[in-house]
Amino acid sequence: MKIRLSEFARIVGGECLGDGELTDFCIDSRKAKAGDMFVCLKGARVDGHDYIPKAAQNGATSALVERKMPTDLPCVLVPDTLKALQDFAAWYRNQLDLKVIAVTGSVGKTTTKEFIAAVLSRAFPTYKTQGNMNSETGLPLTLIHTEPEHRAVVTEMGMCGFGEISELSLIARPDIGVLTNIGVCHIEYLGSREGILKAKCEIVDGMSDDGVLILNGDDPLLATVSDTKQRRVRYGLNSPEYEYYAYNVAVLSEGVCFTAKTPLGDLDVNLAIDGIHNVYNSLAAIAVGVECGMDLKSIGEGLLCMEKAPMRQNVRKEKGMTLIEDCYNASPTSMKASIDVLKGKSGRKIAVLGDMLELGENSAEYHRSVGEMLEGVSVLIAYGDYASAYLEGASKAGVLQRIPCRTAEDAAVNLNLVAREGDVILFKASRGMHAETVIESFLNDTNREEV
């Protein structure tokens, strides 16, 4: 992308203070590079305007500002820098001839996005949300990074409260919306699962009436969605009434296989990634592929090329043990999925669990319920404010060795004392609990005691 600052200012309704050319945007002064416009966003604790000198030092050649600044950089002055970035992204999206697929849901957004992008890439030049760029800034940047040769972009939409997905949908104008499930993530802010459903269904706000809404029909709340203008397509397990469903599902020692029933016929699928929940994620991708006019052979090839996202249920061998790293986020639903993967592995099973955040007033009960899922697990190491709730539930599940910890560091110390060759160890917590540091400390301890 290349655009003159004066043209950018015209598009967003700003005042151009000096001219030049911009080729990209950045919101982090440390990552600025030549050709970037540094977008000065104001947060609760920092003001991006204060970092203009740092951005210029790192190569930024212009800035988007809300007030005139003492800088040699050409600037575009606007009332609201975030809105200007979003307005430009919406304008840029309208210049491109491509399919926009938007994915939201309480659990599985990123993995489903990766499956969809892998499938579509077999037929079209495809761009996708990088990492977790699914926010009020991340989604606009995703659209802006889409290039003219792309024919599809797979976006992820996250939220904490009402109105946020609506805003993102109006910017992206999705052709296809995918809703993976409705859990209890962010229930602290939305009040109930019904509130979460309402917020997630805002994805239709930017969709045209001839768009397609792809829904997990096995989710009890998504099953109630019936009043959208868009055509609804459902997927699930062993559900012949759905347009897409999986049968003959078999969990393997590594991966899972199934047959997908589709409007085009049956597709035999062998996934190299563990967990029944990934049958759902891949079914959504199959549905998107068919809706985009792909044949089943190409869709099947795409599923085999799916790239795992960092810190999301990555299974690897270290020091004679199997580690299941699922440290990006956590909720009761995703906990169950990860615990099911743990139970499906051979070896003594250890769960290292940190708090699940943003679950509101019933947090303790949610943590107890996860503990009760641990039947067949030999050791639970729990850390954080709700460690005792995990342990209470685990006691009911018959977990014999239950170790409470306050911090991730404490958890690593205790894991070093009990882990031994042949163990299978799950690491799972909300992002703010930094479960990846438990893994790092565990693997870096050269004096680990074998018991």
Is the predicted pLDDT of residue 450 greater than 70, yes or no? no
Is the predicted pLDDT of residue 294 greater than 80, yes or no? yes
- pLDDT tens track for 376-385: 999 999 999 9
Confidence label for 72 from pLDDT (cuts 50, 70 and 90) = very high
- b/e string for 163-177 if b means 16 or more Cβ within 10 A? ebbbbbbebbbbbbb
Is the predicted pLDDT of residue 348 greater than 70, yes or no? yes
Encoded tokens for 159: 């939220």
- b/e string for 210-247 if b means 16 or more Cβ within 10 A? ebbbbbbbbbebbeebeebebeebbbbbebeebbbbbe
Model pLDDT, residue 309: 62
Sheet holding 424-428, edge to edge: 314-318, 321-326, 424-428, 349-354, 379-383, 401-405
- pLDDT tens track for 47-62: 999 999 999 999 999 9
Is the predicted pLDDT of residue 189 greater than 80, yes or no? no
Question: How far apart, in Å, do the first and last CA atoms of the chain sit?
Answer: 59
How many Cβ atoms from other residues are within 10 Å of residue 374's Cβ? 28
- b/e string for 9-30 if b means 16 or more Cβ within 10 A? beebebebbeeebbebbbbebe
Is the predicted pLDDT of residue 215 greater than 90, yes or no? yes
- Residues 6 or more apart in contact with residue 344 via CB below 8 angstroms: 251, 253, 274
Quote the mean pLDDT of the chain.
93
Pairing label, strands 231-237, 176-179: unpaired
Half-sphere exposure of 450 (CA within 13 A, CB side): 8
Is the predicted pLDDT of residue 310 greater than 70, yes or no? no
Question: In angstroms, rounded to a whole number, what is the distance separating the alpha carbons of residues 261 and 278?
Answer: 16
Alpha carbon 348 to chain centroid, angstroms: 30
Residue with tokens 């409260």: 161
Model pLDDT, residue 133: 87
Model pLDDT, residue 314: 81
Encoded tokens for 76: 């575009």
Model pLDDT, residue 249: 94
Mean pLDDT of 163-176: 97
- Nearest of 136, 154, 149, 144 to residue 99 by alpha carbon: 154
Write down how long the chain is.
Answer: 451
Question: In angstroms, rounded to a whole number, what is the distance separating the alpha carbons of residues 397 and 390?
Answer: 11
Radius of gyration of the chain (CA): 23
Question: In angstroms, rounded to a whole number, what is the distance separating the alpha carbons of residues 436 and 125?
Answer: 34
Phi, psi of 27 (to 5 degrees): -115, 0
Is the predicted pLDDT of residue 446 greater than 50, yes or no? no
**Least confident residue range of 12-21, 223-232, 328-337, 401-410:** 328-337
Confidence label for 431 from pLDDT (cuts 50, 70 and 90) = confident
Confidence label for 447 from pLDDT (cuts 50, 70 and 90) = very low
CA-based torsion, 49, 54, 58, 59: positive or negative: positive
Confidence label for 373 from pLDDT (cuts 50, 70 and 90) = very high
Q: Please name the amino acid found at residue 99.
A: K
Q: At what angle do helices 81-95 and 164-172 cross, to 10 degrees?
A: 40
Alpha carbon 311 to chain centroid, angstroms: 11
Encoded tokens for 2: 């290349």
Mean pLDDT of 130-151: 92
Mean pLDDT of 65-79: 96
Mean pLDDT of 62-72: 96
What separation in angstroms does the CA of 378 have from each of 253, 324, 325, 374, 392? 19, 16, 18, 9, 15
How many Cβ atoms from other residues are within 10 Å of residue 303's Cβ? 24
- pLDDT tens track for 388-397: 999 999 999 9
Mean pLDDT of 197-220: 96
Is the predicted pLDDT of residue 245 greater than 60, yes or no? yes
- Nearest of 258, 280, 277, 254 to residue 345 by alpha carbon: 254
Question: In angstroms, rounded to a whole number, what is the distance separating the alpha carbons of residues 333 and 283?
Answer: 18
Mean pLDDT of 312-327: 86
CB distance 12 to 76 below 8 Å: yes
Q: Please name the amino acid found at residue 83.
A: K
Is the predicted pLDDT of residue 406 greater than 50, yes or no? yes
- List the domains of the chain with CATH numbers: 3-79 (3.40.1390.10), 96-303 (3.40.1190.10), 314-444 (3.90.190.20)
